[in-house]
Every structure is written in structure tokens, then in C-alpha cells.
Structure 1
Amino acid sequence: MATCSICGKRAVTGNQVSHSNIKTKRTWAPNLQRVKLLVNGTPRRAYVCTRCLRSGKVQRAI
């Protein structure tokens, strides 16, 4: 799966636990958006998580 190009956040795995305590594997995926960024003055597409977008860690290209 893709990772955030700013903070490195990616999918994590764990157990889904039912009411009868049966455990099955599942993944939790981060909310990644493919956005156009300014990197060294040139626009570039990258995957960025919404937390980095909201906190202003990236400069979006228009």
C-alpha cells in the first residue's frame, strides 16, 4: 500500500475481534490523498495523509 510522503504513515495490521472473541486479521489504512505539491519550486504528485494536509505541512500546487 501507499505511504504518506511527508510523515511516512502507512497501513497497520491487527485483529478484528468479534462478540464471541474470534480474532481475524485486518488492516487499518490511513486516509491518503494524491495531491500536487510544490517540491523545490516544481509541481509533483505524491500521496499525503489528511493530517499533514490539514496541519499545513505541505505546500499545494495549483
Structure 2
Amino acid sequence: MAKCALTGKKTTFGHSRSFSFKLTNRAWKPNLQRRRMMIDGRMQTVMVSTKALRTMVKTKGK
């Protein structure tokens, strides 16, 4: 199962509810992207959620 390297966000499971109230299984997957980042002085390819990427961009200037 894919997981965000920074936040630990991963697939969550639940049920879809139809109009007749019938339950069917479904999954909510995070929007993960492959990005190359400097970790411990080395470039590594990691899976990062888009929300984590946005936060990194926002806090980079501070």
C-alpha cells in the first residue's frame, strides 16, 4: 500500500451508501506524487502527497 513519506497519509477504507442505503466497499486514496528530495545529504525519490508538497512550498520562504 502506498504511503506519503512525510505525513504517513495512506489509503482509508469505508462504505459507499446508495439511495436505497445499500453498502458497498470503497477506498479513498491520497494523491501521491513521486518527487526527488534531498534526504540526509542524498537525493532520493520519495512518494509525497500533494498536500505535503503545498505545505513545503508555503513554508519554504519563512
- Report the TM range for the smaller structure's normalisation: 0.7 to 0.9
**What's the TM-score, normalizing by structure 2?**
0.86
Q: Tell me, which stretches of 5 or more residues in structure 1 are unaligned?
A: 58-62
The runs of 4+ residues in structure 1 deviating greater than 6 Å are none
2:20 counterpart residue number: 20
Q: Tell me, which stretches of 5 or more residues in structure 2 are unaligned?
A: 58-62
| Pairwise CA RMSD | 1.1
Identity of aligned residues (%): 37
**Bigger fraction of residues in helix:** 2
Q: How many residues align?
A: 57
CA distance in 2, matches of 1:26, 1:40: 37
The Cα of 1:11 is off from its aligned counterpart by 0.2
